[in-house]
Structure 1
Amino acid sequence: MSRNPIRRVRAKGDAFSIGFVIGQATASSFRERVFREGVFINEQDQGLNARWRGSDYLKTLESASRTAYPGYVREIEGIAAGAGQDFETVFLWHCMTELMLPEGVCPATNNIDRCTSLLIPAEGDEPAVIAHNEDGGAQFLGACLWVEAEPDEGPAWSGFMIPGILPTYFGVNEAGIVQANNNIRPNDLKPGVPREIISRAILSAKGLDEAIEILKRKDRASGYHHNLGEAKTGRLVSVEAPASGCVVREVASPRAHANHLLFGEFDGLEQTISVSSRNRQEAADRMIAEGALAEGAEAVLFDETTPIYANGSDQTLATSVFALFPDRVEWRVHAAPDERDTFSGTIRVV
């Protein structure tokens, strides 16, 4: 029996209908692991809920979201209905990063890091690859979903989700766009569109340039580091996109990214860098330089000495590998190093 079962869910229709299906699929996990009997289980989330529920600031985030991307807010409304929760609870859950401290500081007490990613350009007959560890609280082991959606409008897409959050942590669409996100903690939070909605917009992008333009929006409330790829062209880009800026790097040689800003353009931006993030970045860079990728992306992402693969209160919830060919993306999702290819598939580029 798997210690980390990941369920596969298929949804189609309008935005609300897709949200409703995945909300139903995640309802019990949301009640058991996120929001039980009207209270967030995590102590930090309890504090944020107490401070910001009903606040003008949360309403500002909602208003910005509805103005920029009403369809994705409609998906969140569907998730809430399907999960049997009120909209404000589920929207607030989507905005936990933005609500850390709207004065602009993402505090060091928020010590959970999220993810390590690899970008590997095409070489010879080998495809370009984006590979990614999705890390999160160990309470989400066995509660995550792989969602395959066919919306009435826009490209079909697939993505990974934890209970109650839009499936955007890593994913792919039928335009051949691949996305994998890493948490970053710069001190530049501001009112605007939450990063989960921005990430959902990227999963509907019809090309890499369109995805990059989404990340250049001036009304983003916070941000991620985004690993993006385009199957048709084989282009890979590493995009650091905190609320205050967006820097895009075309990737010409293999590189890794953990959970802090690396680009010199952000040297003047204060950020929180955990020991874990620094160690994972240094270890992945070293392993790439030593030729570990000859054994595949998993040789780096499954490292348990640093560790890059997390076991503990912060846990690797899934590992994904996307191979980008001109006409298709071949993908696989591992539940654990000893539970490989939990899901795999091919999405043809339209």
Structure 2
Amino acid sequence: MPLHIINASGAPYDMGRAIGEAIADTVHRVTIHNEEFVETENRWTGSDYVRQMMDMTARIFPDLTRELEGMADGMGIAYERAFLWNCRGDLRWPEDISPAVAFGLTEGCTSLILPATPDQPATIAHNEDGSADYDGNCFWLVAKPDTGPAFESFLYPGMIPGHSMGANAAGLVQTINNVRVHDLKPGLPRHFICRAILSARTLDEALNLLKRPDRASGFHHNLGSAAENRLASVEAPASTCHIETITGSPSAHANHLIRPNLRDIPQTITHSSNVRQDRADQLLREADLSATTASDILFDNLPGHEILRRPKDGGDDYGQTLGTGIFELSPEEVRISVHLGPDHQNAYTSRLILEPAPVS
């Protein structure tokens, strides 16, 4: 299946409107019929919990609120409906939820950070795993906002960009892994935090967003700054933030907290997340990093230990790798390669030339 490319630019509302119009058909054909979407709407529409989050987001991130308002109008759906879908992972669900929602809440991805070697630039790489409903129905966004750096991002139909994998022209790269930590609260939705990071110009700006105490929930973030030659693996549930600077040794992360000071925080850990974490760690230990590429690891499909996810692979979370992103960081540019599987590599390639920092 092809990767659909969207070009959008302008003021927040205008850029959002262009995105929404480009994805509208897919949203109405696929997203609004997704079982998780339907149950989220049925359970949470009009709730005080969501209203608190909506009001806080409008106050803290007015430009991003306008961007999602534009997306909603372009998609032809109400703003609250679009907002609700973008805070699906921030909500406290009871135990009597459908299997589809349970799978969505424990969705899986795998990310790598490979520091530079004499033969290869520093690399951040990511398998984006999600519902099979979205296989062939996702997009790659090339955005040039009026405010903030240009950026590129994988995009689910109906969701604001940033919460999967992307990079901006300030040289920041971000990939996201879901973590299901039991510390959720009404606050800033994690999707908006991820989108705000794509507007940051330095790694410290991005990290400050992840240190905010008013976040509703959180993710694991692999972050890199090409301009600053810095790499970080950040576990950021709602209640805390742990920043691991990555220098000489490579790093892998799946979908649960693994840092010694965080891993005892109550969280849901799937068998698949443990398997992918262990397998990626093993492959990194055994690899000749001067010769091994990140895609070699992310395409690994040893039966019972699969990192590359396919339907019926036995995993107990989302079982479909929708795309693999490889981001190579150098002082002048970020090179992007997006693969749709081992047999469809380089479905999209790009060079993000670093923009000079604006004069203050």
**With structure 1 as the length reference, what TM-score do the two structures score?**
0.93
Q: Does the alignment pair 1:113 with 2:107?
A: yes
Q: Does the alignment pair 1:331 with 2:341?
A: no
Which residue is equivalent to 2:314? none
Which residue is equivalent to 2:358? none
* Structure 1 residue 108 displacement after superposition: 11
Q: Does the alignment pair 1:304 with 2:296?
A: no
Which residue is equivalent to 1:290? 286
Change (3 A) 1:34 1:28: same
- The residue type paired with residue 186 of structure 1 is V
Counterparts of 1:232 and 1:199, CA distance in 2: 20
- The residue type paired with residue 307 of structure 1 is E
What do the CA deviations read for 1:210-234 (whole angstroms, capped 9, x no partner)?
Answer: 1001100111001010000000122
- The residue type paired with residue 133 of structure 2 is Q
Contact 2:176 2:222 in 1 (8 A): yes
Which residue is equivalent to 2:120? 126
Q: Does the alignment pair 1:61 with 2:61?
A: no
Q: Does the alignment pair 1:213 with 2:208?
A: yes
Counterparts of 2:320 and 2:119, CA distance in 1: 34
Which residue is equivalent to 1:191? 186
- The residue type paired with residue 180 of structure 1 is T
Which residue is equivalent to 1:247? 242
Counterparts of 1:48 and 1:344, CA distance in 2: 35
- The residue type paired with residue 58 of structure 1 is V
State which of 309, 312, 320 in structure 2 corresponds to 1:315: 320
Contact 2:114 2:251 in 1 (8 A): yes
Which residue is equivalent to 2:231? 236
- The residue type paired with residue 342 of structure 1 is A
Structure 1 residue runs of 5 or longer lacking an equivalent are none
SS of 2:256's equivalent in the other structure is coil
Counterparts of 2:44 and 2:271, CA distance in 1: 30
Q: Does the alignment pair 1:340 with 2:359?
A: no
State which of 249, 273, 277 in structure 1 corresponds to 2:273: 277
Counterparts of 1:48 and 1:35, CA distance in 2: 10
**Correspondence list, 1:155-194, <5 A:** 155-168=149-162, 169-194=164-189
Counterparts of 2:288 and 2:47, CA distance in 1: 49
* Structure 1 residue 114 displacement after superposition: 2.4
Counterparts of 2:240 and 2:94, CA distance in 1: 17
Q: Does the alignment pair 1:9 with 2:6?
A: yes
Change (3 A) 1:219 1:309: same
Which residue is equivalent to 2:68? 76
Q: Does the alignment pair 1:23 with 2:20?
A: yes
Counterparts of 1:292 and 1:102, CA distance in 2: 46
Q: Percent identity?
A: 44
What do the CA deviations read for 1:289-313 (whole angstroms, capped 9, x no partner)?
Answer: 1116433011100011221011116
Range 22-31 or range 221-230, more displaced? 22-31
Contact 2:9 2:15 in 1 (8 A): yes
* Structure 1 residue 101 displacement after superposition: 3.0
What do the CA deviations read for 1:162-208 (whole angstroms, capped 9, x no partner)?
Answer: 11101211111110000000000000001100000000000000101
* Structure 1 residue 349 displacement after superposition: 1.1
**With structure 2 as the length reference, what TM-score do the two structures score?**
0.91
Which residue is equivalent to 1:140? 134
* Structure 1 residue 122 displacement after superposition: 1.2
**Correspondence list, 1:90-105, <5 A:** 90-101=82-93
Counterparts of 1:145 and 1:50, CA distance in 2: 27
Aligned length: 339
SS of 2:349's equivalent in the other structure is strand
Range 195-204 or range 327-336, more displaced? 327-336
Contact 2:31 2:37 in 1 (8 A): no
Contact 1:65 1:73 in 2 (8 A): yes
Contact 1:115 1:135 in 2 (8 A): yes
Contact 1:122 1:234 in 2 (8 A): no
SS of 1:97's equivalent in the other structure is helix
Contact 2:20 2:73 in 1 (8 A): yes
What do the CA deviations read for 1:237-276 (whole angstroms, capped 9, x no partner)?
Answer: 0000000000000012111000000112213310000000
- The residue type paired with residue 183 of structure 1 is N
